Amino acid sequence: EVQLVESGGGLVQPGGSLRLSCTASGFSFTSSAMSWVRQAPGKGLEWVSSISGSGATADYADSVKGRFTISRDKSKNTVYLEMNSLTVEETAIYFCAKNPEYFGPNWLESWGQGTLVTVSS
Amino acid sequence: DIQMTQSPSSLSASVGDRVTITCRASQGIRNYVAWFQQKPGKAPKCLIYGASSLQNGVPSTFRGSGSGTDFTLTISSLQPEDFATYYCQQYDSYPLTFGGGTKVEIK
């Protein structure tokens, strides 16, 4: 059974930084691209970033490009999202999701439970 | 970026009703659409991918159709556990984009 467990959320001041983690189990980690999607309170879903199975390729939403970095560690079966220069508008639940294939844009077949990031002074 | 326009934004229906939700893409995206169900406080759950392929374990009361720019999610007979918010997602190209959501409420 696929399991994705996010952690690292919390309260951060505007302009601050945070690193989210997503630990995966139940599938071949390096065979799947992974993604982060966020959802502001009471709002819809917004794709943030995806990384290929090898970690060689990453894509980002324009809204986070240059400030967020996605990475993965195959020895820990973990995907990370490093977030810098956070704004209050980025307060959201951040979900980790598994793509069905190794590379490229795809649907998000399995999701973690999410971790809440609150940006506030 | 490809915009996904989903309608309606909300609807009220009764158990046993047939429900249809539509998504229109701002450009042709072949059949690269997925549909998700989200219940309050929970993560989204993938129901359909490839516009019409049912994800494992999803009841056959859910059906997806369409290609190009127009897509439909149909629930043939609404069950109590189906009251939720539904989203479409395109994966023809990055950035991945979602529709605005359809909240299905009890009439």
Give one DSSP letter per residue of A5-53, joined into a string: EEE--EEE-TT--EEEEEEEESS-GGGS-EEEEEE-TT--EEEEEEE-T
B97: distance to nearest CA of chain A, Å?
7
Q: In the prediction, which pLDDT does A42 show?
A: 97
Q: In the prediction, which pLDDT does A87 show?
A: 98
**Contact assessment for residue B21 and residue B82, using Cβ atoms and an 8 Å cutoff:** no
- Kindly state the percentage of chain B with pLDDT values over 90: 98
Q: Is A64 on the interface with B (CB under 8 A)?
A: no
Q: How much of chain B is helix, strand and coil, in % rounded to 5? A: 5, 50, 50
Give the pLDDT confidence of A34-75 residue by residue, as tens digits: 999 999 999 999 999 999 999 999 999 999 999 999 999 999
For all residues of chain B together, what is the average pLDDT? 97
Closest CA to A96 of A15, A31, A19, A14: A19
From residue A32, how far is each of A20, B18, B99 by CA, in Å? 19, 36, 24
Distance in angstroms (rounded) separating the CA atoms of residues A113 and B40 = 12
CA Rg, chain B, in Å?
13
Q: In the prediction, which pLDDT does B85 show?
A: 98
Give the pLDDT confidence of A75-87 residue by residue, as tens digits: 999 999 999 999 9
Chain B, nearest residue to A112 by Cα:
B43
Closest CA to A36 of A59, A12, A10, A14: A59
Q: In the prediction, which pLDDT does A53 show?
A: 97
Q: How confident is the model at residue A27 (pLDDT cuts 50, 70, 90)?
A: very high
Q: In the prediction, which pLDDT does B92 show?
A: 98
- Kindly state the percentage of chain B with pLDDT values over 70: 100
A3: distance to nearest CA of chain B, Å?
12
Q: What residues in A contact B42, CB-CB < 8 Å?
A: 113
B30: distance to nearest CA of chain A, Å?
13
- Kindly state the percentage of chain A with pLDDT values over 90: 100
Distance in angstroms (rounded) separating the CA atoms of residues B4 and B101 = 10
Give the mean model confidence (pLDDT) for residues A20-40: 98
Q: How confident is the model at residue B99 (pLDDT cuts 50, 70, 90)?
A: very high
Run of H or E including A2: none
Give the mean model confidence (pLDDT) for residues A92-98: 98
Q: What angle do CA B52, B89, B15 make, to 5 degrees?
A: 65
Give the mean model confidence (pLDDT) for residues B52-78: 97
Give the pLDDT confidence of B9-48 residue by residue, as tens digits: 999 999 999 999 999 999 999 999 999 999 999 999 999 9
